[in-house]
Structure 1
Amino acid sequence: MSIVVTGGAGYIGSHVVRAFVKAGLDCVVIDDLSSGHREFVPEDVPFVEASLLDTAALEATMADYDVQAVVHLAGYKYAGVSVDRPLHTYEQNVQGTVSLLQAMERSGVDAIVFSSSAATYGTPDVDTVTEDTPTAPESPYGESKLIGEWLLRDAERANGTRHTSLRYFNVVGSAVPELYDSSPHNLFPLVIRALREGRTPRINGEDYATPDGTCVRDYVHVADLAEAHVVAARALLEGRDLERVYNLGCGDGVSVRQIMDAAAEVSGIDFTPEVGPRRPGDPARIVASGELAARDLDWKVRYSVVDMFRSAWEAGPTNA
């Protein structure tokens, strides 16, 4: 018996794979390496290089490895870029999920943990987001994740598919130095890249209605996130009931300036960040309650902002 991890060669997916291995659960990775890294997958974990759009390859993998459940992390994850590439985003995230669910149905696999996103909420008009906060995605990426949740709901109605969706907020840090966030868009790698290249990191707006004037967001460590996937997958495999959606947030946000302070402390580089104008559509504060996940998924926040930045700083191909 094994668990398929789609996107298991990516930053988050590779941490999830290692969490499964540590927990003694067999898994197999499917990834097309469009943004993942083959070296992120442990050598003793089976790896299949394939697109989610290749339903036959998915079916073959499920048969070859006696798959009983799926953790679905693969997808096109750049919300801002998705505005310029909507058709590509829907193809990868919506059609890819349809293909995966078709392969599961044909293979008799009826349990799936879905990697969703805080982007499903858009710009909520509440300070603390709960699972009952209305969804109003503002990008094709956010829309595609919400559609993914709908597809799972409909598969449950039609075929009895057991599922839960984990809505991520800002995932940062690293559990081991060889796994790192290589995104060209996320804040932590942008700050790290700037400092290593001798440039000054930038803050977009410092006149928000927050304690220090900069945007406040919910940041969670990737290792904590990975552990939640293990608990969710085990629950589904054991037939336990889960909520259909969980927010993986800490309920207490961190400001951009606090991250800059942590970067200076960890790196030893004394810098004053550049300040630019606000970016359109950036709300002042978005944090999420993780109460449901704490109740059902053993969700805990184990890292401070300094811990999170230090683990990111010490990871990656340029960590020396």
Structure 2
Amino acid sequence: MDAKPKDEIVSDDDLCPVCHLLLYNPVTTRCNHTLCATCMAHWADVSMTSQMTILAPSSSPSMFSGADTEARCPMCRTPTNATQNPDLAAQLQQKYPIAYPARAAEETTEDDPNSGTIETLTLCIGNSHKLVSPGPDSHNMHEWTFFVRPSRRDIISGVEIQLHPTFRPPTIYCKSAPYEVRRKGWGYFTITVSVDLKKGWSWVSEDAEEVPFRGDDAKARLLLDWTLDFAGHEGKGSMGRCRLKVRKEGDGERREREEEDRVNDGRWEVEMVNDDEGEEEENGDGEEGEEEEEEEEEMFEGTSDVSDE
């Protein structure tokens, strides 16, 4: 009979400083701290802020993944990011042939497909600007283009742009990219923009709210303000870039939402049928009402003919 393998003693140097378990799929930060990849991703979710960075309007949003998302280090609190450390992973797997596979099994068990996942989205909001010659009887010497540039367009349902009430129309809703509007004017003002996510996604933000008339309680609308900039970057305008968190619903949540949508659609069809039946009753119970109307028309026509004679 084979002897039962002894429990492996994990060195303190090989423990994750966040979960205090054996390092699994380790990543190392720029500040030279090593922790589990999932621990770093979870820490980035709670520590990353949406602080806006002002840039030139020609800059483009960039994609961020869990490995290169900048967040404050859980050990020294300095802004940093983390990269995979495959050499250390191989060493740990060889050093702990029992404990390392056990950690892998724990990670797999914790991955619940029914629960939602949090991802990162970069959003740029701003305006470009140039001076133009105003026309006769006009003071509109500023031509500007306001824009919203998300790093991921596939999850954006639309962008609503609220201009100054003197513009016609004052509200523009862009259902697809580019999410921008170009105008001429004589002064600057603050633009309010609403960025709507598609069904199945929601913003991880206290400022998020429900999308009107959508029929669900997901916080899928995020409101942002931007004051037009005519002086920044030698008069070319500017933009702000911020990293935001979005949540993708899990499989269980998606099935529940789809079932609720089907139920609501069924209720709507029943209401439509009931409305049609009510109209028929008002018209005299369908075909019988139509026959009575035809008889009345014939009587009226006959009377009319007699009167003409």
Instruction: Give the structure-1-normalised TM-score.
Output: 0.22
- Of structures 1 and 2, the larger Rg is shown by 2
Higher helix share: 1
Higher strand share: 2
Instruction: Give the structure-2-normalised TM-score.
Output: 0.23
